[in-house]
Structure formats: C-alpha cells, structure tokens
Amino acid sequence: MKSYDCVIVGGGMVGAASALSLAELGLKVAVVERALPQAFEPGQPFDLRVSAISLSSQYLLEQVGAWQQISQWRLCPYKRLGVWEQELSYAEFNSDDIGQSHLGAIIENRLIQLALLDQVKNHDNICLYCPDSLTSFVQYEQGVDIELSQETVKAKLLIAADGANSRVRQLAGIGTTGWDYQQSAMLINVNTGLEQQDITWQQFFPTGPVAMLPMPGQHASLVWYHHRDEIKRLKTLSLKQLEQAVMASFPKRLGQVEVLDRASFDLTRRHANQYQKQRVVLMGDAAHSINPMAGQGVNLGFKDVKALQKVIAEAIGNGECWHDPAVLARYEKLRRHDNLLMMSAMDALYASFSHPSLLMKGLRNAGLFIANRAPVLKNKALAYACGL
C-alpha cells in the first residue's frame, strides 16, 4: 500500500493549489481527480465559468508557478470596480488609490486549473491519480486509510477539496448549515461593441444585480441575477431573443452586444459545521459556498490554501507533529471567522439591495454616495477585498 503525507481529494483550482503549496514544504502529496479539463488552444471560445482573481490569489498562483502559464494563455486585468443602484449613488474603486497596478484579473476557471495541474504533473513530490475517485476512508490514531476506485493508499492527512457536495465531508460525518437564496444567476458570454475595458461593474436591482466582467479583446462575461422562474424563462429564449433582453435590462454603458453562449446556476449558501475532524481537513467549497455577488468564492478557497500551508510550516519549524489534530485545528481557527465575515457581508448586501421599501432604497444609495466620498474607508475596504 502506497503511503503519502497528504492525500487531496479534488484536483480543481483549490485542490491543485493546495497540493503545490504543501509539496513546497517537502511533503509527499497525492491528488485524486475524476477527470482532466480540456486542454487549452488559443482559438477556443471563452468558457462560461470565470473568476475574478484578487491580487492575493494572484500572488499565490505566482508562488506555485501557475501564473506565468496563465499569463501566456489569456486573462483580463482590471483597474476599476464600479457599483451603483441609481446613477447619483455611483461608487468607483480604483487600484491607483491603494498603490496597485490593478485590482485583479478575470480568468476562466479551466485555465487556472490547467495551469496548476501542469505544475502538479511536473512536481517530484506529487502523484496525480486521474481518472480516479474516493470510495471510502477509515481514520485511526496515526493516519487515514483511503480506498480509491483503483487502489488503497495511506496518508497522515486527508484534505477535502471536492466541492460543495463533498464526498469526503459526508463520509467524515461533518454537517453543514445554510439555505437557498431562491434566486439563480445566468452567465452570458458576449461579443462587445467596446474594446477591452479596465473596469468591472455591477448595478443593483430589487430582483438582483447585473454585472459585467471584462474579457480579452471585444468580449465580456455578463452575470444576470434574478428570481429562479425568470432565469428559467430566459433560458428558453433563443440567443437573439436573449440579446434583446440583455439590451433592455442592462445599463446603457454596456453598449451593443452579441450573445454567444449562456448557462445558469442556483444560488445557495453552505457552511461546514467544522473544517477539521481528526485528520480530515476541508477547504474551498467543501468548507464554504458563498453568494457569488462579489466574486469572492475561489479567493476564499485560496486563502484557505495559504492558511493551511502556514499552519503546517510553522509546526514543522517548531518541531511539532504537523499532522496532529491539535495542530490542524489551528487552520480552522485561522479561517472560520474570516470566511464567516465575508459570507455574512454578502448576505447583508444581498438583503439590503433586495429590500423593496423606499426607506431602505434611500439608505443604501446614501451609503454608496457617502462611501465614494470617504477615501480612507473606501480604500480599506478595497484592500481587504483584494486580500492585501
């Protein structure tokens, strides 16, 4: 039976980044992934699933060697973030105000995963099991016996990076709390009449926001939040009909667009009741799934990656048993409060802008108006969102 320091179930963005960050510490790591993503070719259409990668997440990707490849493929950096409900309350955040060249970059999820997996495949301390999947596992005092579909392996630590419906979390008996938002989001890829922009923006409506994420060239990714029945109706439209609906419902600053593709997903919140149970650790969506309104999902997952690396590195440096459950518990202490704070902030934002009363509408627009004219407060919030 093969033995590893860590076995990570899930080779997505968070799982692959975690493998590389722990392998940097000299640990022997295995990654279990069901299927590899489609290889990149320059002429491919843009994927629907994209992420707004923060500066902090960019630094992690640079650290593990993936950013260089992503930069050679395609990404769209942005300097500004615009938020408003009414035009009078428009608030804009600019990277210049916090001394940075940009706030982040819009990147297709598949390209991030591909670049990370390229590094995983070439790392001497990492073994990739793909295609493979977890069947079961048994914890005991010194480690974990892990049964995969192909073979059984041993590990000192089992990491769940297998998504919101985590099999590892379920087998570990870790429950979740959360709810459905009774809303869905439609992702829409478009050609734009405008050249690549350096701004991403979001306008709020009682039914949910609409957002524009710039993509390379004359392309953009639109996000349309609405009640589930309305998103279902929009899904039945032809691309031309959807284009007309976008032009009627999105702000005029979007300009003329041509709809190329679309998909949708329901909005839910899930938070694991614990991030660590003996020698099992949860990270990314396995631990927390958040309202995607501010695009913080994968950025929170990358913060998990850095926190676990920090905890284990400090334990090794102090001569402690790095995989002792008491040491692993420090990871949850580092991350749970921060994740809960961001999740609660997104819920408060969602509740505020969906509230129909005129009083609430006046208060939230006044808040944006004031925030745009309070540079110290605005820049602190911006730096936090960037992970700085």
pLDDT attached to residue 141: 86
pLDDT along the chain (388 residues), means of 10: 96 98 98 97 94 95 97 96 85 88 95 98 97 96 93 97 96 92 92 88 90 95 95 97 97 95 91 96 94 75 97 97 97 93 72 55 53 56 64
| 310 and 190 Cβ atoms separated by less than 8 Å | no
State how far the Cα of 87 lies from the Cα of 18, in Å rounded to an integer: 42
At the topology level of CATH, where does 2-75+106-178+269-353 sit?
FAD/NAD(P)-binding domain (3.50.50)
Q: What is the pLDDT of residue 356?
A: 58
pLDDT of residue 20: 98
Q: Look up the CATH number of domain 181-268+356-370.
A: 3.30.9.10
**Domain-wise residue ranges, the chain:** 2-75+106-178+269-353, 181-268+356-370
User: Facing residues of 126 across strands?
Assistant: 29
Q: What is the pLDDT of residue 336?
A: 94
> What pLDDT is recorded for position 63?
97
What's the pLDDT score for residue 148?
Answer: 97
What b/e sequence results for 122-156 when a residue is b if at least 16 CB atoms lie within 10 Å of its CB, and e otherwise?
A: ebebbbbbeebbbeebebeeebbebebeeeebbbb
Q: What are phi and psi of 143, to 5 degrees?
A: 175, -155
DSSP-assigned letters across all residues of 332-368: HHHHHHHHHHHHHHHHHHHHHHH---HHHHHHHHHHH
Strands (E), 126-218: 126-129, 134-140, 143-148, 152-160, 176-192, 199-203, 210-215
